[in-house]
Structures are given as C-alpha cells and as structure tokens.
Amino acid sequence: MNHRWWLDPCKPVDSQVLEQAMARQQQLTKPAGSLGRLESVAVQLAGLQGQVKPSLEQLWIAIFAGDHGVVAEGVSAYPQEVTGQMLLNFVSGGAAISVLARRLDACLEVVDLGTVTPSLDLPGVRHLRVGPGTANFLLGPAMTLAQGEQALQAGRDSAMRAAGRGTQLFIGGEMGIGNTTAASALACALLDCPVAHLVGPGTGLDAAGISRKVQVIERALAVHGGSNGDPLQTLCNLGGFEIVALVGAYLACAQQGIAVLVDGFICSVAALVAVRLNPACRPWLLFAHRGAEPGHRHVLETLAAEPLLDLGLRLGEGSGAALAVPLLRLACDLHGQMATFAEAAVADRPA
C-alpha cells in the first residue's frame, strides 16, 4: 500500500461551537460546574459534532477478533479455540456485548481478522483471514508489514461503514485469546516501562502464570527492542490483528469526524498506538473506564485520559464502553434539554 492513509489529517474540532456549548453550560439552571464531568463531556461532544446540542442516537460497535501465536508460550488460561467459539456467541446474541448492543439499539459488527480455527465460516461474521492468527513474536515479528496494513485497512473499512450509517459514536471491541500479552508488550515498548509494572492476570492467570507472562514479554522486548522508535513497526512486531484493526478504526474515525469511545486496557493500548502514529486523532478519543488490568492506569496517564467509570471491569469486547453510553446520552440530554435561567425565569447568581 503506497498511500499511508493513517497519516492523513484528522478533522479539526469546531472551536466556535465548542465556545457556544461552554457558554450554554454557564446559562443552565444549576450552579456552574455542579454536574462535573457530565458538563465537560457534553461540551466536548458538541465541539466534535459541530452542534451546540450534541446527540448520541446512532451508535456503532465493531468487535475485531484474531488469534495470537504467543499463546504457545503458556500466557493464557484459556485455549485458543475460545476465540472462534466467542465469534459464534457474539452473532448468536449470547455475549455480554451482544446484550448491551441490543439494549443500546446499536449496530453490532463482528470482524474476524484471522483465527486458528480452520475454515471458520459463520453467518453474520466478516471473515477477512489476514492470517491464521499472528506468529509467535518470540521467534520474529507477529505479522508482516503487509498484514499490518491489511489489518489497519480492515479497521478503516469498519469506520467508513459506520460513517455511511451516520454514526455519532464508535466503539471498538476485541476478542483474541492471548491479547492482553500482546497489548502489554506493546505498552511496555511504547512507554519504556518495566514489564512487571504493567502485566496482570488477563482472563484469570494465577501468580505463576503472571510471572511466566512477564518473562515472555521481557524476552520479546529484547528481540524487538531496536524498533521501538517506529510505532508502526512495533505494532507489527508485537501486536495482534485485532489490535491493529482498532488502531485503523480509531484513526479513520478521527479523519471522518466520528467520536470514539475507547474501551479497556487492550483498546487503550490501540489508542496509544493511534496517537503515536497520528497525534491529531487524540481529541476524538473519549475513554470509557479504568479497568482492573494494572497496565491500564499507565496507558491512561500517558494519554492524559479521564475515564468515565471505574468498576473493576476486565471483560473486553467493548463492554465497558457500552456501559458508559447511557451516561454520555444523559450528559447530552442534560446539556440540550435543561432550561436556561432566562427561559425558566430563575434568578441567576449576580455577576
């Protein structure tokens, strides 16, 4: 791919509308700042949408899935077959994100970038088959640059489909046994942080399993350490197809002018990579929650992100982001439907 589209300009925030939305907040029948973060996030959404009264009716949730070769090193408590099995659960309506998407009246898309399950062909799933999962990154790069660009494009394609539906908020989710190991390795490489500070239990490792995961990641960083200054190469060396697709989706959303609600640790690492590739995407990223994985806090701090929720979540799938949507919708309703002091004939505090 000759055109490095992920470096294209992102849509600028509408600063004039942002100022008008801030002014409106000051006129509503409440003490200034009394609704806390609900005020600032409504104003932020106004600037992103280019309208003083933002709305979040049109919601798109894309679940990207892929398997990981590093699972051969014993870094997961679950077998890789679970990835393919969960794809069926997503489209059958039985997964947590399926329940949440129905409740939120969201469009749910499931994209399989490449699993180890042979000839997987599920109705309702987009099977792209970038590869049969990534390679074991202890033995070489997790994927080729060509595969990385294909996965980036898959994320972009999802964002473009979302844009075609008039989407106002994009949520990316992930599924892939072993992907907390890939995300932790990426975070350590990009943040130059000790592995033990970031690595956690993922889907349920015990203390011995966590120790093994730390050792695997430390070995991988020694193998690929020479590429840490190049975020795209680092992504291909250590990432997963689904993580790369998230990066592509986030960047394309920022270019198309669609606000993104980032989910947990793995999605936040993808957001970190996106910002490293194209810093102009950062204003388009809202962060849903602070998860239980220890590395999540470090990534959020690096991105100067203020998550909306802190519920000890560690499921993934985009579930934490979906849980935050009602809060954002209520923030928009409060911002757009509350009366001003003048409309309600309520005396304001003297200037």
Q: Which two structure tokens, joined as six digits, stand for 34?
A: 């009394």
Q: Which two structure tokens, joined as six digits, stand for 143?
A: 């994927």
The residues facing 110 across adjacent strands are 63, 125
- What amino acid is encoded at 136 in this protein? N
| Tokens 């690595």, located at residue | 199
CB of 180 closer than 8 Å to CB of 198: no
User: Of 33, 65, 78, which Cα lies nearest the Cα of 201?
Assistant: 78
For residue 317, indicate whether it is catalytic.
yes
Q: Which two structure tokens, joined as six digits, stand for 239?
A: 């990432």
Q: Tell me the C-alpha distance between 15 and 9, whole Å.
A: 17
Based on C-alpha coordinates, what's the Rg of the chain?
20
The residues facing 242 across adjacent strands are none
Q: Tell me the C-alpha distance between 193 and 91, whole Å.
A: 38
CB of 290 closer than 8 Å to CB of 316: no
Catalytic residue among 57, 242, 317, 343: 317
**Catalytic residue annotation:** 317
